[in-house]
Amino acid sequence: MEQTAEILRRLRAGEPVGIAEVARRARVSIATVSRVMNGVSRKASAETVERVLRAADELGYRPAHPGRALRTRQTRLIALLIPDLTNAFYAAIAKSIEASLAQQDYAMILCNTDEDPAAQDRYLAEMQAHRVRGIALLGAVATPGLALAMRRDTPVVFVNRKSPSGPGIFVGIDNYAAGQAVARHFLEQGYTECAAIHGPLWSTASRARFEGYRDALKAAGRKLKPCHTLEAALTMEDGLWAARRMLGCSPRPQAVFCGNDQIAYGVFRHCRELSLRVPDDIALFGFDDNPLNEWLAPWLSTIHVPSHDFGPAVLLAFKQLWEPQEGQPVRDILLDYSMMLRGSA
């Protein structure tokens, strides 16, 4: 049994088993093995199926993805580009997407861009080379590479932050409406000095949030004072920096809209430095709702974005792109946000 010896050698060496070995062991052609493994039924007798399956099982055979990919011109790979994995909100979205993909036997390649446009373009090109079946772009930045990628036939889904260039399917919340909701809440609470530390305006999401907030205030006859309006990166460090600039000016704001939770954490730190109580002395309002808030930031009201819902939605978006329905235009998927009010004892 020379072939058996070969199989044993490969198993011992830890080398993966190929379709040919399975075919030999089941005494059928490799074509039959392939058909059985792919469940192309009505094409093999029950007895053959059984023999093949047993042989595959005994050898621990699983079809090699690279071979399959080459032949079918399709991988089971999806890329997720993410600005910052250590932002727990982004991480929660990534987790949700990964879970949905794994369920459909897709593997997720994770690319951390650090909001760096050059890095985004490098990844975009590299993912094309990997022949991924789709790219989920969490926190897209306008770049030449992105424009190029949109021309290729690899589907791109914009997650949480809309396409900076206009066209492109989007999954996320209505940030403008959410921004308005924050303003209305402040008005209801009777705050007269409302401020904003918003995210970078080149980010479609940050811009929409801020504009919603500003417009709703204006609609109520309130205007944001210049010294009550600041732009910051979506980080704690920048939040702290902004707070140091803003909380010194008079009158001190009673309520601060923050572009995201991270910014709010930074502001909170300065409040601690000033011995200001949140929200009694000054109210903070964030965006996203980091899962840790419930435990570590019970003082932070925020717009809760349902991170768990992103996975199924992104999958749905890809499916729309993969199998376009006649007369069924591809549409954005809007998720519901909610107001998470905390600390108002």
Partner DNA sequence: TTGTAAGCGTTATCAA
Partner DNA sequence: TTGATAACGCTTACAA
19: partner contacted, choices its own copies, DNA, none (Cβ within 5-8 A by kind): DNA
Question: Minimum CB separation from its own copies for residue 108, in Å?
Answer: 5
Nearer to its own copies, 180 or 260 (CB): 260
Partner interacting with residue 128 (select from its own copies, DNA, none; CB below 5-8 Å by kind): its own copies
Q: Which of 267, 222, 220 lies closest to 248 in space, CA to CA?
A: 267
Q: Which amino acid is at 54?
A: R
Can you read off the two tokens belonging to residue 77? 């790979």
- Smallest distance, its own copies to C-beta of residue 238, A: 12
Smallest separation, CB 67 to its own copies (Å): 6
Q: Which residues contact 27 (CB under 8 A, 6 or more apart)?
A: 51
User: From its own copies, DNA, none, which one binds at residue 38 (CB under 5 to 8 Å depending on kind)?
Assistant: DNA
Q: Of 122 and 308, which CB lies nearer to DNA in the complex structure?
A: 122
Structure tokens at 148: 């190029």
For the record, the structure tokens of 209 come out as 């949030």
Closer residue to its own copies in complex, CB, 237/332: 237
**CB under 5 to 8 A by kind: which of DNA, its own copies, none does 272 bind?**
its own copies
Rounded least distance, CB 322 to DNA, Å: 15
Give the nearest distance from C-beta 109 to its own copies in angstroms: 5
Closest CB to its own copies among residues 123, 213? 123
Least distance between its own copies and beta carbon 6 (Å) = 16
- Which C-beta is closer to DNA: that of 131 or that of 218? 131
CB of 235 to its own copies, least distance (A): 10
Q: Name the burial class of residue 296, with classes exposed (0-12), middle (13-18) and buried (19+) by CB atoms within 10 angstroms of its CB.
A: exposed
Q: Which is nearer to DNA, 72 or 328 (CB)?
A: 72
The residue among 31 and 219 lying less far from DNA, judged by its C-beta, is 31
The nearer residue to its own copies, 216 or 240, going by C-beta atoms, is: 240
What is the number of other CB atoms lying within 10 angstroms of the CB of residue 25? Answer: 21
* Positions that interact with DNA (CB under 7 A): 18-20, 27-32, 34-35, 37-38, 40, 42-45, 47-48, 61, 63-64, 66-68, 70-73
Cβ of residue 295: shortest distance to its own copies, in angstroms? 5
Nearest C-alpha neighbor of 138 from the set 96, 182, 197, 76: 96
Question: Residue 34's binding partner, choosing from DNA, its own copies, none, with beta-carbon cut-off 5 to 8 A by kind?
Answer: DNA
Instruction: With beta carbons less than 8 A apart as the criterion, state whether 276 and 251 touch.
Output: no
Angle value at C-alpha 74, between 147 and 68, nearest 5 degrees: 150
Binding site for its own copies (CB under 8 A): 13-16, 60, 62-67, 69-70, 75, 77, 80, 84-86, 88, 91-92, 94-95, 98-99, 102, 105, 107-112, 123, 125-131, 148, 151-154, 236, 265-266, 268-269, 272, 291-292, 295-298
Q: Is residue 236 within 8 Å of residue 257, measured between CB atoms?
A: no
Partner whose footprint covers residue 42, from DNA, its own copies, none (CB < 5 to 8 Å by kind): DNA
